[in-house]
Amino acid sequence: MEIVNDAIQVYLDKHCEEEPALLKHINRETHLKVPMPRMLSGHYQGRVLSMLSKMLAPERILEIGTFTGYATICLAEGLGQNGQLITIDINEELEDRVKEYFSDAGFSDKINYIIGNAVDIIPTLGGTFDLIFIDADKKNNKTYYDLVIDMLRPGGIIIVDNVLWSGKVIAESDKDTQVINTFNDYIINDPRVEKVMLPVRDGLFLIRKK
* pLDDT tens profile 17-56: 999 999 999 999 999 999 999 999 999 999 999 999 999 9
Q: Which residues of 114-144 are buried (b: 16+ CB within 10 A; e: fewer)?
A: ebeebeebbeebeeebbbbbbbbebebbeeb
Question: How far apart are alpha carbons 121 and 28 in whole angstroms?
Answer: 31
Give 128-180 pLDDT, tens digit per residue. Answer: 999 999 999 999 999 999 999 999 999 999 999 999 999 999 987 899 999 99
Q: Is the pLDDT of residue 194 over 90?
A: yes
The mean pLDDT value of the chain amounts to: 96
Please list, in sequence order, all residues whose beta carbon lies within 8 angstroms of the beta carbon of residue 74, skipping any fewer than 6 positions away: 23, 41, 46, 47, 49, 50, 53
pLDDT at 4 (0 to 100): 85
Give 64-112 pLDDT, tens digit per residue. Answer: 999 999 999 999 999 988 999 999 999 999 999 999 999 999 999 999 9
Work out whether strand 111-115 and strand 129-134 pair parallel, antiparallel, or are unpaired.
unpaired
CA angle 8, 14, 20 (to 5 degrees): 130
Strands (E), 7-124: 60-64, 84-89, 111-115
pLDDT confidence band for 2 (50 / 70 / 90)? confident
Q: Which fold is adopted by the domain 6-209?
A: Rossmann fold (3.40.50)
pLDDT at 210 (0 to 100): 98
Question: How far apart are alpha carbons 195 and 175 in whole angstroms?
Answer: 24
Q: Is the pLDDT of residue 5 over 80?
A: yes
pLDDT at 171 (0 to 100): 84
pLDDT confidence band for 1 (50 / 70 / 90)? low
Question: How far apart are alpha carbons 121 and 187 in whole angstroms?
Answer: 23
Q: Is the pLDDT of residue 191 over 90?
A: yes
pLDDT at 3 (0 to 100): 82
**Domain regions of the chain by residue span:** 6-209
pLDDT at 123 (0 to 100): 97
Q: What is the mean pLDDT of residues 175-186?
A: 96
Share of the chain above pLDDT 90, in %: 93
Q: Is 125 strand, coil or helix?
A: coil
pLDDT at 45 (0 to 100): 97
Strands (E), 30-180: 60-64, 84-89, 111-115, 129-134, 152-161
pLDDT at 117 (0 to 100): 97
Question: How far apart are alpha carbons 26 and 184 in whole angstroms?
Answer: 30
Going by C-alpha positions, the residue among 160, 171, 40, 164 that lies closest to residue 97 is 40
The residue ranking higher by pLDDT, 6 or 186, is 186
Please list, in sequence order, all residues whose beta carbon lies within 8 angstroms of the beta carbon of residue 129, skipping any fewer than 6 positions away: 58, 60, 61, 62, 148, 151, 152, 153, 156
The 3-state secondary structure of 79-103, one letter per residue: CCCCCEEEEEECCHHHHHHHHHHHH
